[in-house]
Structure 1
């Protein structure tokens, strides 16, 4: 798994790892059931402390994006289309806060961050088969 860490960034490395993996899950690069590297191996690959990667994995697990099991490793969680609306909104709010923090660390304004989100949406937008937007 390829992930670049900017050691000069104001965004902490654990958040860069968490956000990077969450983005790969969100865009389908990491499919449900895909195995993530072990914490030790990923930390070595990224040049980070084991505890840094472990924190990222814990936060991904608490957000329901990955599942960790002893002797089985960490895998991308199955998508749950039946997620209650309140929980879906809570997760969306969490993702928005993380995105805004990353945008601020890059010096982007709120409008700039929204424009980037719209560009990303336009790149990955698929027409709704029911004809809805």
Structure 2
């Protein structure tokens, strides 16, 4: 399965969402990179190809790629295109560390697990 198929599998851009389209694309690539579904070195679709498939302006995808590059998730090599960098592993490690800290606070305060999960879900959805 190529990167375009992985990106588009069971996902579509939500045009009715309050989350801007570039952010939806950025979050999708970030999620796939940090989960390993898009392995390090996987070449992403060109800006134009992904924009066409999503029905958005090329600048929308370009901004998502640019922000991913600034975060170290992807690397761009001119005409060679954009590929997943090793940054996905760093992000997974940071998220796991934050989850461990959160879990420690939850245990210390005696917050029930179901309530803690609702709190973190609300925080993720809010941001």
**Aligned residue number for residue 37 of structure 2:** 29
Counterparts of 2:81 and 2:119, CA distance in 1: 34
Matched, 1:112 2:106: no
Residues 28-52 of structure 1: CA deviation (Å, up to 9, x unaligned) = 1100000000000000000010000
SS of corresponding position for 2:64: helix
**Aligned residue number for residue 80 of structure 2:** 72
Name the structure with the higher helix share: 2
Stretches of structure 2 that go unaligned for 5 or more consecutive residues are: 99-115
Number of paired residues? 94
Residues 48-83 of structure 1: CA deviation (Å, up to 9, x unaligned) = 1000000000000000000001121000002587x7
Residues 113/63 of structure 1: CA separation in 2 closer, same or farther (3 Å cut): farther
Normalised by the size of structure 1, how large is the TM-score? 0.62
Normalised by the size of structure 2, how large is the TM-score? 0.64
Q: CA RMSD in A?
A: 2.9
Counterparts of 2:32 and 2:88, CA distance in 1: 17
Residues 39/80 of structure 1: CA separation in 2 closer, same or farther (3 Å cut): closer
SS of corresponding position for 1:44: helix
Whose Rg is larger? 2
Counterparts of 1:111 and 1:28, CA distance in 2: 24
Residues 111/36 of structure 1: CA separation in 2 closer, same or farther (3 Å cut): same
